[in-house]
Structure 1
């Protein structure tokens, strides 16, 4: 049993590679290093440096594998509005290329990295897999199209698949691996505190207990283990649901994140406050019940543990 992890040099991908290795599953990585980092790669894991649009390289990476975890793609929702064609090329055209090469190689198992971005700004108090998708960025649209590609391809060729819709992935399961995104809350706070600057809360007038928006945060190591469970299920011939939400079912407010940052770092600060950002929902929390049932999914970390692991891994030099 060997699995190919696309985007395996990225923040999430490298954690997935580590989770597979810890479970005794051989892994191959393909990544063009456009956002992934060579230092995140696991020593001894075969690595192909290429974009999935390179069919020959993808074909080589698929040799001898029984399944694929597909994480590679352009992941910045806000910037995707400014770069829609780039986003579609990297997330849709590349996935079409991957699925074509998988079919040619007879690889019939795939776990797809989808996103809560398919839901847009949901009206449901708790998002479930039955919540209607309403993507509001090219990024979210590409993730929904990716799910469609899987369903359509499965009607044409043998293909066992599932899509995991991530919510806010945070923390670190290895002190050498950190979230370097300039758009995510945890790295923004870590970066500012490292520079001796004060983080800001955008919006304190939300209809929530403390006035700040509530989002669903999941630890990256817990997320990675869900991929292992999905891969093992598909490899054994089990039929999984087409999509699963990887959410905690509870949620954490921005102010609670700031409080955790203060406790964990020992830096006494009071966040500044600014107006809401356009389109920022007051509450997005997801049920992970289906994933708990089929993938033994569980968010095992407290907010302090999540931030502590992110802070430990954050480069401070």
Structure 2
């Protein structure tokens, strides 16, 4: 892949949130000009790096087009949206509004203004319950909840738009994102988060009474669900590489798994938290949740072959250590 540099700035939607704030850091560290659009419903203005320009606005607002023009935007990284799977089941219309409909408006704004590159925050939930593990990009996409379907519908829109306009995209299907910026500049700050490592480190410092383990009868070595945990800073770096690929090869688009290609069980994660904190987090055994697959692990051969991206934080203890450091810092804010 040839070296390519974006001629203009990057618009990051949801840049005041967990993954978006880390992408802003990665972009700014790489020397890109960054403008953030975030409605601050779940994000935090203080989480946006000072090198970026923050504009409080919903992504579906037509005024986003004025922002694109004013700031010379030539690429969009789209992180804004709703991400809680059980909530998507109980309130599906919220997810089709915040994820699918809002993404449609943002894509239309990009096409109208002539922004040629788009990086989309997709999810492994597009696969549903995979027939085999690890799961590859060409495997069936059969979402089992509105969250996964709302993201898959956006992927379809991007594919159709790229066929009709001078526009290319990268859809990165995340597995389980965890950890925090190793320099302590950002981390997961949302109250009531449901991600296992976030919940576990909150319990470790006394913010929660314990951790619920949903199911111990999975077809896995220890009976608990196995997931592929990717450090948020590695994920952010993948976005920068994806951007540079889109610029270098404007006629091509990509859908890529973002994971490490190996999984850890719930008990293994909790063991790591106990090990790092030198205390035992209370484990509450609960019935398994409907639709939870036994294991969900990325086949990451495509992203390794397509991007010059190599994980730098592929270590469960390190991921937990960074998450814990952030949680302690957050408690002192």
Distance in 2, matches of 1:305 and 1:240, equals 35
1:305 paired residue among 318, 328, 332: 318
**TM-score relative to the length of structure 2:** 0.90
**Cα deviation, residue 3, structure 1:** 0.8
Question: Which residues of 2 match residues 215-234 of structure 1 at below 5 A?
Answer: 215-234=227-246
Distance in 2, matches of 1:161 and 1:199, equals 38
Report whether the alignment pairs 1:211 with 2:223.
yes
2:27 paired residue among 20, 44, 53: 20
**Cα deviation, residue 201, structure 1:** 2.2
Question: Which residues of 2 match residues 216-255 of structure 1 at below 5 A?
Answer: 216-255=228-267
- The Cα offsets for residues 119-176 of structure 1, whole Å up to 9 and x where unpaired, read as 1111212100011001111111110000010111112211111100001000001424
**Cα deviation, residue 95, structure 1:** 1.3
**Cα deviation, residue 298, structure 1:** 3.2
Uncovered stretches (5+) of structure 2, i.e. residues with no partner: 1-6
**Cα deviation, residue 101, structure 1:** 1.3
- The Cα offsets for residues 187-226 of structure 1, whole Å up to 9 and x where unpaired, read as 2112222227332322222221222111010000000000
Report whether the alignment pairs 1:148 with 2:156.
yes
**TM-score relative to the length of structure 1:** 0.95
User: Partner of 2:91 in structure 1?
Assistant: 83
1:60 paired residue among 60, 66, 75: 66
- The Cα offsets for residues 58-89 of structure 1, whole Å up to 9 and x where unpaired, read as 11221201111111111112101122112111
- The Cα offsets for residues 20-76 of structure 1, whole Å up to 9 and x where unpaired, read as 1111111111000111111111113111110012111x1122120111111111111
Distance in 1, matches of 2:121 and 2:281, equals 36
2:211 paired residue among 179, 182, 199: 199
User: Partner of 1:271 in structure 2?
Assistant: 283
Contact 2:28 2:51 in 1 (8 A): no
Distance 1:206 1:156, change over 3 A: same
User: Partner of 1:316 in structure 2?
Assistant: 331
**Cα deviation, residue 9, structure 1:** 0.6
Uncovered stretches (5+) of structure 1, i.e. residues with no partner: none
Report whether the alignment pairs 1:116 with 2:124.
yes
User: Partner of 2:294 in structure 1?
Assistant: 282
- SS of the aligned residue for 2:90 comes to coil
Distance 1:162 1:178, change over 3 A: same
**Cα deviation, residue 238, structure 1:** 4.8
CA RMSD of aligned residues (A): 1.6
Contact 2:167 2:250 in 1 (8 A): no
Distance in 2, matches of 1:272 and 1:48, equals 42
Distance in 2, matches of 1:134 and 1:75, equals 18
